[in-house]
Amino acid sequence: MKKVLSFLLAIIMVISLCITGFAMETSSKLDGEPSDWARSEIREALAYGLVPESVNGNYKQDITRSEFCDLIVNLIEVISVKSIDDFVNAYSEKLENVSFPDTDSATVLAAAKLGIVNGRTSGSFDPDANITRQEAAKMLALTAKVVGESITSESGAQFADKDAIYNWALEYVNYVYAQGIMKGTSTGENPNFSPLRTYTREQSILTALRLYGVLYKYYPTPTAIPVPSTPIINTLPTDAGEAGDVRKLEPMTLTEYDVLTIKDGVFMLEGKPFVEISFNKFDLLWQIIDPLLVGDMATYNSMIKKQEQSLKELNEMGFRSIRVFMAPWGPYDVKKAWYNPKNGESLLFKAIDEVVRMCEENDIKIVWCMGLTGFVEKWIESDRNGWHWAYGDYHMRELIADENCVARQEMYKYLDAVIQRYRNSKAVLTWEFANEITLSADILPGEKVYEGERMPTLEEIAKFFDDVAARIRLNDPLRLINSGGSSMREHQWNLYVNNKWQLDLKSEQYKALELLYKDRGCDIIDIHWYANNTLGPVVIDDETYNNVNLGLADYMEFAKEIGKPLMVGEIGIMPMADTPNYFADNSDVEKAKPFFQRQLDEIVDAGVQLSYWWQYGSDRPQDEGVGQFTLRKGLDDELLQMIIDANKRLKEKYNAN
């Protein structure tokens, strides 16, 4: 919903939470007893809504061709957040209508229309026949293909019974085996695949869950992403200048009284508790720097006036801080802006100067998201199949894990320059590394590569937090530091420790946070939170082994145990169309109110001291219109008033008025 990689990953997290909530309403029981080896993964598949009613039970029974269509069509609906009819209608390839004399099943016909399944040579479908393992491999692979995955495999698996696999199935078997979606039926260097053996419901459910882990990355697809004509690489131009030597800095003019501090677990500013529910004004800088980068001064001047008005409105409503992405959109633009001096001055600093001035004049402080992951060596390329990322030598893994790599050193120069320039401004509330770095941890299982980009481990991210926090403190020893990290993925500890998409225990979620924050460089534990129509992410209870929701109160307990305050850097209620008992747009105030109230009550009741609602007054075209969740004074006054009232209640709770 925001910048490129973080945009993709952030929406993926939000959709995952939405899917989880949908799953809890549709299918959350274990009818009959699965095999012990399948139990935990079936429970996880149920939590994600991946088990249609037709296969939810009698798990050891062989699955039929029709039931397998139910399973994979349901998977497409969950992963795309669309009905199968909408998915088929939006599919880019021309599709022919299909019919069979022996079934009118909607899922069978949809799967056939998408080319995932075929009929028999007689023209029938044979819906009640058992599916074979090689047929399952084909359907799983072609499901991945229609969602967007390339299913070619560089080398085939060396199965002992390779000759028994039909030629038409070999490509698909190689793909599902290489991705870990299907496994062999024996162990050893050359296992058997048993292509003609039947496939049980529990085996099918597990492979659907694994395929979900592979396809998780594809939705939602951004509708419009700017495409640069040439890549920007991580080599600092000679005219960009060097950051100042941090050992030669003049003393700071501010004192601890002027900046946010922590006393007895409570945020303090100017001698008083500082708590609030405020807003992300994430695109404040973007709206100013984008026209600068293309020399459109008329739009630049117009946008300054618009942003000044937004800040004035926030001040009048009683808000004293906002969270802002204080780096341009995407890895391409952060370098383009900083490495583009005009008359000896960076365009980036020209735009940031305006943001700081406006915030100072309106007595609003900034949770300053520095966008440090913008120094990976990546860019966007476009061809007839759409846009895709291209990469140089320095991926996310190198930036995070290798403190001596070029990308890290360029990032430090940028960090030094920004903090040295603005550290004496009272507009800075905290320094934040970047948005949702934690979502890149251990993705994807196996080689830890996501869409061609090498990704770091959770431990490497924890060490990166320490390194960057130390660098920030060389420049600014007074300010508090937060990571910008999201909530943990529901599988995070198992991704890190076991290298698999397995739902974490509640205690394992704590371990992931503990690794990142306990006795580490960040002063604040920060998460992002979009419960929407659910009660929060799903994990497994340590005692009952039932699925349970993690709430803000749980995170407050985690934070207390770790010994650092909790901040929710993003929180909000996202409109969603075609969702039963929910609202599709903020204009449907009466339907929206209960969900807003529940979320606001949870913040106040849990005592979360700082949280930033997504979002206020965005001027981006994609954030306007039906279904968006930007709030604006004059359009969403009732919903805004609810946030204002909750903010007052929180302040009263901490005697912060």
Q: Are 601 and 556 in contact (CB under 8 A)?
A: no
In this prediction, residue 45 carries a pLDDT of 79
Number of H helices, E strands in the chain: 20, 19
pLDDT at 606: 97
Question: What letter would DSSP give residue 636?
Answer: S
What pLDDT score does 153 carry?
Answer: 64
Q: Mean pLDDT of all residues in the chain?
A: 84
Percent of the chain with pLDDT over 70: 83
What is the C-alpha to C-alpha distance for residues 360 and 367, in angstroms, rounded to an integer? 13
Cβ atoms of 139 and 125 within 8 Å: the answer is: no
The gap between the terminal CA atoms of the chain, to the nearest Å, is: 34
SS3 of residue 422 by DSSP? helix
Gap between the Cα atoms of 168 and 628, Å rounded = 45
Q: Where does the pLDDT of residue 375 fall: very low under 50, low under 70, confident under 90, or very high at 90 and above?
A: confident
Token pair belonging to 192? 């058997």
DSSP secondary structure string, 170-236?
Answer: HHHHHHHHHTTSS--SS-SSS----TTSB-BHHHHHHHHHHHHHHHGGG-SPPS-----SS---S--
pLDDT band, very low/low/confident/very high, at 646 (cuts 50, 70, 90):
very high
Neighbours of 599 (CB within 10 A): 23
The pLDDT of residue 27: 34
The segment with the largest mean pLDDT, out of 20-29, 30-39, 637-646, is 637-646
Q: Whole-angstrom Cα distance, residue 403 to residue 480?
A: 22
pLDDT value at residue 390: 81
Cβ(313)–Cβ(617) under 8 Å?
yes
- pLDDT at 295 exceeding the cut of 80: no
Pick from 23, 26, 2: nearest CA to 12: 2
Which pLDDT tens digit goes with each residue over 365-374? Answer: 999 999 999 8
Q: Say which residues have a Cβ less than 8 Å from residue 543's Cβ, sequence separation at least 6.
A: none
* Nearest one of 444, 290, 456 to 373, comparing CA atoms: 456
- Please check the confidence at residue 383 and state whether its pLDDT lies above 70: no
Mean pLDDT, to the nearest integer, of 288-295?
80
| pTM flag (> 0.75) | no
When pLDDT is cut at 50, 70 and 90, the band that residue 220 belongs to is: very low
Task: State how far the alpha carbon of 601 is from the alpha carbons of 259, 573, 637, in Å.
Answer: 28, 13, 19
| Residue reference for tokens 């709430």 | 551
Vertex 647, ends 642 and 653: CA angle to 5°? Answer: 130
pLDDT at 28 over 60: no
The amino acid that residue 570 corresponds to is E
Query: What's the pLDDT at 20?
Result: 32
pLDDT in tens, 313-355: 999 999 999 999 998 766 556 666 666 554 445 778 889 999 9
559 token code pair:
């934070």
- Amino acid sitting at position 210: R
Cα 536 → chain centroid: 15
Position 19 pLDDT exceeds 80: no
Residue with tokens 């030669």: 248
pLDDT at 94: 64
Helix (H, G, I), strand (E, B) or coil at 11: helix
Q: How confident is the model over 30-89, as pLDDT tens digits?
A: 446 788 888 878 877 776 678 898 998 889 999 999 999 999 999 998 887 678 988 888
Task: Evaluate whether 119 touches 102 at the Cβ level (below 8 Å).
Answer: no
pLDDT in the model for residue 138: 94
- Mean pLDDT within 241-245: 39
3-state class (DSSP) for residue 467: helix
- Where does the pLDDT of residue 559 fall: very low under 50, low under 70, confident under 90, or very high at 90 and above? very high
Backbone angles phi, psi at 135, to 5 degrees: -65, -40
Tell me the longest C-alpha to C-alpha distance in the chain. Answer: 85
Residue 640 host element (H or E): helix 637-653
pLDDT of residue 12: 33
Q: What is the mean pLDDT of residues 582-593?
A: 93
**In contact, 7 and 217? CB cutoff 8 Å:** no
243 DSSP assignment: P
Distance of CA 236 to the CA centre of its chain: 30
